[in-house]
Amino acid sequence: MLIRFRDPAAPRPSEITPEATWLDRRRFLASGAGLALAGFAGTWGLASRPAAAAAPEDFAPLPEVGRSPLSTDEEANSFQEIATYNNFYEFGTAKEDPARYARALKTSPWTIQVDGACARPGTLDADALITSPLLEERIYRLRCVEAWSMVIPWVGIPLAKVLDRFEPLGDARYVAFETLHDPRQMPGQRSRVLDWPYREGLRLDEARHPLTILAVGLYGRVMPNQNGAPARLIVPWKYGFKSIKSIVRITFTVDEPPTSWAVSAPREYGFYANVNPTVDHPRWSQARERRIGEWGRRDTLMFNGYADQVTSLYAGMDLARFY
Protein backbone atom coordinates (compact mmCIF):
# COMPACT_ATOMS: atom_id res chain seq x y z
CA MET A 1 0.00 0.00 0.00
CA LEU A 2 1.40 3.37 -1.00
CA ILE A 3 1.00 6.07 1.66
CA ARG A 4 1.47 9.56 0.25
CA PHE A 5 2.56 12.31 2.63
CA ARG A 6 1.69 15.90 1.88
CA ASP A 7 4.59 18.15 0.95
CA PRO A 8 4.58 20.96 3.58
CA ALA A 9 5.55 23.45 0.89
CA ALA A 10 2.62 22.54 -1.34
CA PRO A 11 -0.36 24.90 -1.33
CA ARG A 12 -3.38 23.83 0.63
CA PRO A 13 -6.76 23.64 -1.15
CA SER A 14 -7.88 26.88 0.51
CA GLU A 15 -4.92 28.73 -1.01
CA ILE A 16 -5.55 27.61 -4.57
CA THR A 17 -7.36 29.83 -7.06
CA PRO A 18 -11.03 28.75 -7.28
CA GLU A 19 -11.64 26.37 -10.17
CA ALA A 20 -14.10 28.70 -11.90
CA THR A 21 -11.59 31.53 -11.75
CA TRP A 22 -8.80 29.28 -13.05
CA LEU A 23 -10.91 28.08 -15.97
CA ASP A 24 -11.99 31.60 -16.77
CA ARG A 25 -8.37 32.75 -16.68
CA ARG A 26 -7.35 30.00 -19.11
CA ARG A 27 -10.18 31.00 -21.47
CA PHE A 28 -9.13 34.62 -21.09
CA LEU A 29 -5.51 33.91 -21.97
CA ALA A 30 -6.63 31.94 -25.01
CA SER A 31 -8.72 34.86 -26.20
CA GLY A 32 -7.69 37.98 -28.04
CA ALA A 33 -7.79 39.90 -24.76
CA GLY A 34 -5.38 37.38 -23.28
CA LEU A 35 -3.02 37.87 -26.19
CA ALA A 36 -3.27 41.61 -25.73
CA LEU A 37 -2.39 41.17 -22.06
CA ALA A 38 0.57 39.00 -23.02
CA GLY A 39 1.65 41.87 -25.26
CA PHE A 40 1.31 44.23 -22.31
CA ALA A 41 3.63 41.95 -20.36
CA GLY A 42 6.29 42.29 -23.03
CA THR A 43 8.53 39.55 -24.35
CA TRP A 44 8.61 37.76 -21.01
CA GLY A 45 4.97 36.66 -21.43
CA LEU A 46 2.30 36.80 -18.78
CA ALA A 47 3.33 33.79 -16.69
CA SER A 48 7.10 34.19 -16.86
CA ARG A 49 7.63 37.87 -16.09
CA PRO A 50 9.14 38.01 -12.59
CA ALA A 51 7.60 40.13 -9.87
CA ALA A 52 9.72 43.15 -9.05
CA ALA A 53 11.48 43.14 -5.71
CA ALA A 54 9.87 45.68 -3.41
CA ALA A 55 11.83 47.96 -1.11
CA PRO A 56 10.57 50.87 1.01
CA GLU A 57 13.02 53.31 -0.56
CA ASP A 58 11.25 52.81 -3.90
CA PHE A 59 8.28 54.78 -2.52
CA ALA A 60 8.14 58.36 -1.31
CA PRO A 61 8.13 58.88 2.47
CA LEU A 62 4.99 60.31 4.02
CA PRO A 63 5.06 63.20 6.50
CA GLU A 64 5.73 62.35 10.13
CA VAL A 65 2.84 60.21 11.34
CA GLY A 66 2.07 58.99 14.82
CA ARG A 67 1.17 55.42 15.73
CA SER A 68 -2.45 54.93 16.65
CA PRO A 69 -3.31 53.37 20.03
CA LEU A 70 -5.68 51.12 18.05
CA SER A 71 -2.68 49.27 16.57
CA THR A 72 -1.98 45.65 17.39
CA ASP A 73 1.26 44.85 19.19
CA GLU A 74 1.93 41.91 16.86
CA GLU A 75 5.03 41.96 14.67
CA ALA A 76 4.30 43.32 11.20
CA ASN A 77 5.06 41.43 8.02
CA SER A 78 7.98 42.71 5.98
CA PHE A 79 7.51 45.35 3.31
CA GLN A 80 8.65 42.79 0.74
CA GLU A 81 5.96 40.28 1.80
CA ILE A 82 3.23 42.91 1.85
CA ALA A 83 4.13 44.37 -1.54
CA THR A 84 4.60 41.12 -3.48
CA TYR A 85 1.78 38.85 -2.23
CA ASN A 86 -1.55 40.46 -3.08
CA ASN A 87 -5.12 39.93 -4.17
CA PHE A 88 -5.85 42.61 -6.79
CA TYR A 89 -7.71 40.94 -9.64
CA GLU A 90 -7.59 44.11 -11.73
CA PHE A 91 -3.99 43.06 -12.45
CA GLY A 92 -4.44 39.28 -12.51
CA THR A 93 -5.57 36.39 -10.32
CA ALA A 94 -2.15 35.13 -9.21
CA LYS A 95 -0.76 36.58 -5.99
CA GLU A 96 2.35 37.81 -7.84
CA ASP A 97 0.46 39.49 -10.70
CA PRO A 98 -0.19 42.87 -9.02
CA ALA A 99 3.51 43.42 -8.30
CA ARG A 100 4.31 42.47 -11.90
CA TYR A 101 1.76 44.63 -13.69
CA ALA A 102 0.54 47.43 -11.41
CA ARG A 103 3.53 49.66 -12.11
CA ALA A 104 1.74 50.99 -15.22
CA LEU A 105 -1.09 52.49 -13.13
CA LYS A 106 -0.96 56.30 -13.07
CA THR A 107 -2.01 57.44 -9.59
CA SER A 108 -1.45 61.21 -9.88
CA PRO A 109 -3.46 63.26 -10.55
CA TRP A 110 -6.30 61.27 -8.98
CA THR A 111 -9.64 62.38 -7.61
CA ILE A 112 -12.35 60.53 -5.73
CA GLN A 113 -15.92 61.59 -6.44
CA VAL A 114 -18.19 61.70 -3.37
CA ASP A 115 -21.93 61.86 -4.02
CA GLY A 116 -25.31 60.38 -3.24
CA ALA A 117 -27.33 61.07 -0.10
CA CYS A 118 -25.19 63.89 1.25
CA ALA A 119 -25.58 67.65 1.61
CA ARG A 120 -22.18 68.60 0.20
CA PRO A 121 -21.15 66.30 -2.68
CA GLY A 122 -17.68 66.94 -4.00
CA THR A 123 -14.28 65.39 -4.64
CA LEU A 124 -11.23 64.27 -2.73
CA ASP A 125 -7.78 64.93 -4.14
CA ALA A 126 -5.48 61.97 -3.53
CA ASP A 127 -2.36 64.14 -3.53
CA ALA A 128 -3.88 66.20 -0.73
CA LEU A 129 -4.73 63.09 1.29
CA ILE A 130 -1.07 62.05 1.58
CA THR A 131 -0.19 65.40 3.15
CA SER A 132 -3.13 65.48 5.56
CA PRO A 133 -2.33 66.28 9.21
CA LEU A 134 -4.84 63.53 10.09
CA LEU A 135 -2.55 60.73 8.87
CA GLU A 136 -1.62 58.08 11.41
CA GLU A 137 -0.12 54.61 11.35
CA ARG A 138 -2.46 51.74 12.14
CA ILE A 139 -0.84 48.31 12.50
CA TYR A 140 -3.72 46.00 11.67
CA ARG A 141 -4.25 42.31 11.03
CA LEU A 142 -5.43 41.44 7.53
CA ARG A 143 -7.34 38.17 7.10
CA CYS A 144 -8.16 36.93 3.61
CA VAL A 145 -10.97 34.55 2.79
CA GLU A 146 -8.47 32.07 1.31
CA ALA A 147 -7.22 31.48 4.89
CA TRP A 148 -4.00 33.49 4.82
CA SER A 149 -3.22 36.55 6.89
CA MET A 150 -0.69 39.33 7.45
CA VAL A 151 -0.03 42.16 9.88
CA ILE A 152 0.37 45.45 8.00
CA PRO A 153 1.40 48.94 9.18
CA TRP A 154 -1.06 51.02 7.16
CA VAL A 155 -0.95 54.81 7.10
CA GLY A 156 -4.32 56.45 6.69
CA ILE A 157 -7.07 58.77 7.84
CA PRO A 158 -10.08 57.70 9.95
CA LEU A 159 -12.80 57.29 7.34
CA ALA A 160 -15.38 59.01 9.55
CA LYS A 161 -13.40 62.26 9.35
CA VAL A 162 -13.43 62.02 5.56
CA LEU A 163 -17.13 61.18 5.25
CA ASP A 164 -18.30 63.84 7.68
CA ARG A 165 -16.93 66.57 5.41
CA PHE A 166 -19.67 65.71 2.90
CA GLU A 167 -22.48 65.76 5.49
CA PRO A 168 -24.40 62.50 4.88
CA LEU A 169 -28.17 63.00 5.06
CA GLY A 170 -30.32 61.49 7.77
CA ASP A 171 -31.64 58.71 5.55
CA ALA A 172 -28.17 57.62 4.39
CA ARG A 173 -27.59 54.16 5.82
CA TYR A 174 -24.82 52.77 3.61
CA VAL A 175 -21.64 53.85 1.83
CA ALA A 176 -20.75 52.38 -1.56
CA PHE A 177 -17.24 52.35 -3.05
CA GLU A 178 -16.02 51.87 -6.62
CA THR A 179 -12.59 51.07 -8.07
CA LEU A 180 -11.12 52.64 -11.20
CA HIS A 181 -12.28 50.91 -14.39
CA ASP A 182 -9.52 51.24 -17.00
CA PRO A 183 -8.56 47.98 -18.75
CA ARG A 184 -5.70 49.76 -20.50
CA GLN A 185 -3.99 50.37 -17.15
CA MET A 186 -5.56 47.42 -15.34
CA PRO A 187 -5.21 44.49 -17.76
CA GLY A 188 -6.95 42.03 -15.44
CA GLN A 189 -10.18 43.90 -16.17
CA ARG A 190 -10.06 42.43 -19.68
CA SER A 191 -10.99 39.10 -18.11
CA ARG A 192 -14.46 37.91 -17.04
CA VAL A 193 -13.46 37.00 -13.50
CA LEU A 194 -15.77 39.74 -12.16
CA ASP A 195 -18.27 42.26 -13.48
CA TRP A 196 -16.09 45.38 -13.54
CA PRO A 197 -15.67 47.89 -12.01
CA TYR A 198 -15.08 46.42 -8.57
CA ARG A 199 -17.68 47.60 -6.05
CA GLU A 200 -17.92 47.33 -2.28
CA GLY A 201 -20.07 48.72 0.50
CA LEU A 202 -20.46 49.17 4.23
CA ARG A 203 -23.21 50.19 6.55
CA LEU A 204 -22.67 53.81 7.51
CA ASP A 205 -22.02 52.89 11.15
CA GLU A 206 -19.34 50.40 10.02
CA ALA A 207 -17.78 53.03 7.77
CA ARG A 208 -17.70 55.54 10.63
CA HIS A 209 -16.30 53.09 13.18
CA PRO A 210 -12.95 54.28 14.64
CA LEU A 211 -11.14 51.21 13.25
CA THR A 212 -12.12 51.96 9.63
CA ILE A 213 -9.60 54.02 7.69
CA LEU A 214 -8.92 55.36 4.22
CA ALA A 215 -5.34 54.21 3.74
CA VAL A 216 -2.83 56.02 1.52
CA GLY A 217 0.41 54.32 2.56
CA LEU A 218 2.19 51.57 4.43
CA TYR A 219 5.43 51.40 6.37
CA GLY A 220 5.50 55.22 6.41
CA ARG A 221 5.65 55.36 2.60
CA VAL A 222 3.22 56.19 -0.18
CA MET A 223 1.02 53.22 -1.03
CA PRO A 224 2.52 50.89 -3.66
CA ASN A 225 0.27 50.49 -6.69
CA GLN A 226 -0.14 46.76 -6.08
CA ASN A 227 -1.50 47.45 -2.60
CA GLY A 228 -4.26 49.78 -3.79
CA ALA A 229 -2.72 53.18 -4.55
CA PRO A 230 -3.49 55.94 -4.22
CA ALA A 231 -6.26 55.26 -1.67
CA ARG A 232 -7.96 52.13 -0.39
CA LEU A 233 -10.37 51.10 2.32
CA ILE A 234 -9.21 49.19 5.42
CA VAL A 235 -11.83 47.46 7.60
CA PRO A 236 -9.71 45.17 9.80
CA TRP A 237 -12.48 42.98 11.26
CA LYS A 238 -13.70 41.92 7.80
CA TYR A 239 -12.17 39.67 5.16
CA GLY A 240 -9.70 41.42 2.90
CA PHE A 241 -11.96 41.59 -0.16
CA LYS A 242 -14.02 44.26 1.64
CA SER A 243 -11.00 46.60 1.62
CA ILE A 244 -11.52 47.95 -1.90
CA LYS A 245 -8.47 49.40 -3.67
CA SER A 246 -7.77 52.35 -6.01
CA ILE A 247 -11.04 54.05 -5.13
CA VAL A 248 -12.53 56.59 -7.56
CA ARG A 249 -16.03 56.99 -6.13
CA ILE A 250 -17.75 57.01 -2.73
CA THR A 251 -21.56 57.17 -2.66
CA PHE A 252 -23.91 57.53 0.30
CA THR A 253 -26.99 55.35 -0.24
CA VAL A 254 -30.30 54.64 1.44
CA ASP A 255 -30.40 50.99 0.34
CA GLU A 256 -27.78 48.26 0.67
CA PRO A 257 -25.50 48.59 -2.37
CA PRO A 258 -24.50 45.63 -4.56
CA THR A 259 -20.97 44.38 -3.97
CA SER A 260 -18.80 42.60 -6.51
CA TRP A 261 -18.18 39.23 -4.84
CA ALA A 262 -21.72 38.95 -3.46
CA VAL A 263 -23.06 39.51 -6.99
CA SER A 264 -20.54 37.12 -8.56
CA ALA A 265 -20.91 34.26 -6.05
CA PRO A 266 -23.77 34.96 -3.61
CA ARG A 267 -23.63 31.46 -2.10
CA GLU A 268 -20.02 32.07 -1.04
CA TYR A 269 -19.77 35.81 -0.30
CA GLY A 270 -22.22 37.98 1.61
CA PHE A 271 -22.49 41.71 2.14
CA TYR A 272 -21.01 41.77 5.63
CA ALA A 273 -17.93 39.54 5.22
CA ASN A 274 -17.11 39.64 8.93
CA VAL A 275 -14.32 37.28 9.94
CA ASN A 276 -16.16 34.45 11.65
CA PRO A 277 -14.23 31.19 12.19
CA THR A 278 -17.44 29.31 13.01
CA VAL A 279 -18.89 29.87 9.52
CA ASP A 280 -17.08 27.92 6.83
CA HIS A 281 -16.66 29.03 3.28
CA PRO A 282 -18.64 26.49 1.19
CA ARG A 283 -15.39 24.99 -0.07
CA TRP A 284 -13.07 25.22 2.95
CA SER A 285 -12.89 25.89 6.66
CA GLN A 286 -12.26 29.37 8.04
CA ALA A 287 -11.32 28.08 11.50
CA ARG A 288 -7.56 28.35 10.96
CA GLU A 289 -5.24 30.58 8.95
CA ARG A 290 -1.66 30.75 7.72
CA ARG A 291 0.23 33.92 8.62
CA ILE A 292 2.50 34.77 5.70
CA GLY A 293 6.10 34.23 6.78
CA GLU A 294 5.24 31.69 9.47
CA TRP A 295 5.37 27.90 9.51
CA GLY A 296 2.14 26.16 10.34
CA ARG A 297 -1.27 27.57 11.11
CA ARG A 298 -3.01 29.44 13.89
CA ASP A 299 -6.62 29.68 15.05
CA THR A 300 -8.69 32.36 13.36
CA LEU A 301 -10.01 34.94 15.82
CA MET A 302 -13.61 36.13 15.85
CA PHE A 303 -13.84 39.44 14.00
CA ASN A 304 -10.14 38.94 13.22
CA GLY A 305 -9.28 39.74 16.84
CA TYR A 306 -11.32 42.96 17.02
CA ALA A 307 -14.37 41.48 18.76
CA ASP A 308 -14.13 43.79 21.79
CA GLN A 309 -14.37 46.83 19.54
CA VAL A 310 -17.01 45.79 16.99
CA THR A 311 -19.33 43.10 18.42
CA SER A 312 -21.86 45.76 19.45
CA LEU A 313 -22.34 46.72 15.79
CA TYR A 314 -24.09 43.40 15.19
CA ALA A 315 -26.17 43.03 18.36
CA GLY A 316 -29.15 40.78 17.70
CA MET A 317 -27.98 39.72 14.22
CA ASP A 318 -27.58 36.12 13.15
CA LEU A 319 -23.93 36.18 12.03
CA ALA A 320 -24.29 32.87 10.19
CA ARG A 321 -27.18 34.21 8.12
CA PHE A 322 -25.74 37.71 7.64
CA TYR A 323 -22.27 36.56 6.61
pTM: 0.84
Q: What is the pLDDT of residues 104-158, one digit of tens each?
A: 999 999 999 999 999 999 999 999 999 999 999 999 999 999 999 999 999 999 9
Query: Looking at the predicted structure, is the pLDDT value of residue 7 above 60?
Result: no
The pLDDT score that the predictor gives to residue 22 is: 34
> What number does CATH give the domain 14-314?
3.90.420.10
Region 173-193: mean pLDDT is 97
pLDDT, tens digit, 9 for 90 and up, residues 70-104: 999 999 999 999 999 999 999 999 999 999 999 99
So what's the pLDDT on residue 54? 73
Distant-in-sequence, close-in-space partners of 215: CB < 8 Å, separation ≥ 6: 138, 154, 155, 156, 223, 228, 231, 232, 233, 234
Q: What is the structure's pLDDT at 37? A: 30
**What per-residue confidence (pLDDT) applies to 53?**
62
- Asked if pLDDT for residue 260 goes beyond 60, the answer is yes
